[in-house]
Amino acid sequence: MSRIGRQPIAVPGGVTATIEKGLFKVKGPKGELSVPHNPAIEISQADGTLNVTRPSDRQDHRALHGLTRTLVANAVKGVADGFTINLELRGVGYRAKLTGKALEMTIGYSHPVIIDPPAGVSFAVPEPTKIDVSGIDKQLVGQVAANVRKVRKPDAYHGKGVRFLGEKIALKAGKAGATGSKGKK
């Protein structure tokens, strides 16, 4: 039995779940999500918890068991609390600001980079060097945060760029000949 798949999912107050064949819908204070899943995997609701069960020990059922449980748990958490990914800008003159709902970043290019959020995702800029990406869909929030980071990945030599908050960048050593010992033999 999958250790993740057999764990029950607690449904917080204010969240309602609807289970159909092949589709799980959940509605909460933050919004509404639907998760398609394999119809062979069964989702049941009892006493404020959700349980995911598989029909057999076949390889494909075992593989889908933990996946389905995780997707359902992420949907429940998303509509109840939401997800946020924090990014930071490192570099001289690197800064971000909100222009309406769009994120405008000055990150070393000759022009500002403007990123419009897709539906269900919002940006916040608590400081000029910090960006918060928020939403109810964990996969979409992570993808948008990765796309923002991809605009200017952290440099391997100086560490300048957009990085996840707390991300460690292993810096490469510079040239060995840049020590200032010209002409000495």
Task: Please check whether residue 156 lies inside any domain of the structure.
Answer: yes
87 and 150: one domain? yes
pLDDT score recorded for residue 1: 52
Token representation of residue 56: 């057999």
pLDDT at 177: 56
Do 45 and 102 fall within a single domain? no
Q: How confident is the model over 121-149, as pLDDT tens digits?
A: 999 999 999 999 999 999 999 999 999 99
Assess whether 52 and 100 both reside in one domain. no
* Region of residue 182 (left: phi > 0; alpha: psi -120 to 50; beta: else): beta
Q: ∠ CA(48), CA(54), CA(60), 5° rounding?
A: 140
Low-confidence ranges of the chain (pLDDT < 50): none
Contacts with 143 (C-beta within 8 Å, 6 or more apart), sequence order: none
3-state secondary structure at position 34: strand
For 39, the domain range is 9-80
How far from the centroid of its chain's Cα atoms is residue 34's Cα? Answer: 18
Q: Which helix (H) or strand (E) holds 73?
A: helix 59-80
Give how many domains the chain has, as a whole number. 2
Q: What is the pLDDT of residue 176?
A: 74
Considering the domain boundaries, does residue 34 fall inside one?
A: yes
Q: Is residue 33 assigned to a domain?
A: yes
> How confident is the model at residue 148, as a pLDDT?
97
Minimal CA–CA distance to 162: which of 85, 87, 86, 84?
A: 87
pTM: 0.87
